[in-house]
Amino acid sequence: MSMIKHGASTSSARRALVAACMLCVILSACGEGMAKGRVRSALVEAGLSEGNADCMAERMTDRLSWSQLMKLNKLKGERRSLADYLAAARKIDDPEIWGVTGSAAALCAIGLAPERK
């Protein structure tokens, strides 16, 4: 009899674990979409065109961590050209931010990025 109860609790635990994993996957997918939207909005508020901002946000959210994106978020507010935005991003003491932002800007601006529509 104790084996039946143990088996039932193991089955319940497995179902709960599967449900928790599914919830994590769903929340992660929602988080990625929200991050892209926030980055895109910040880029537009910084003065970039909507097309470049959309393209760059896609590339940047795929390649940068949340903390790196928050550092870039501090650049929003002041309207600037793409070149001025890149100069401001370069001042952030993180070579990965500069590399990703610079390559995203270059590929998106000339239309070579697959994300560019």
Report the helix count and the strand count for the chain, using DSSP H and E: 5, 0
| pTM over 0.75, yes/no | no
Is 91 contained in some domain? yes
Q: Considering its fold, how many domains does the chain have in total? A: 1
| Per-residue pLDDT at 94 | 95
What domain range is 104 assigned to?
2-109
Is 9 contained in some domain? yes
pLDDT category of residue 6 using cuts at 50, 70 and 90: low
Is 62 contained in some domain? yes
d(CA 6, CA 28): 33
Is 25 contained in some domain? yes
| Per-residue pLDDT at 79 | 81
Q: What is the pLDDT of residues 59-104, one digit of tens each?
A: 999 999 989 999 988 887 778 888 999 999 999 999 999 999 999 9
Q: Which residues contact 57 (CB under 8 A, 6 or more apart)?
A: 36, 37, 39, 40, 43
| Per-residue pLDDT at 28 | 47
Is 34 contained in some domain? yes
d(CA 18, CA 29): 17
| Per-residue pLDDT at 35 | 82
Angle between helices 2-45 and 66-73 (to 10 degrees): 30
| Per-residue pLDDT at 113 | 86
Token pair of 113 as six digits: 């990025």
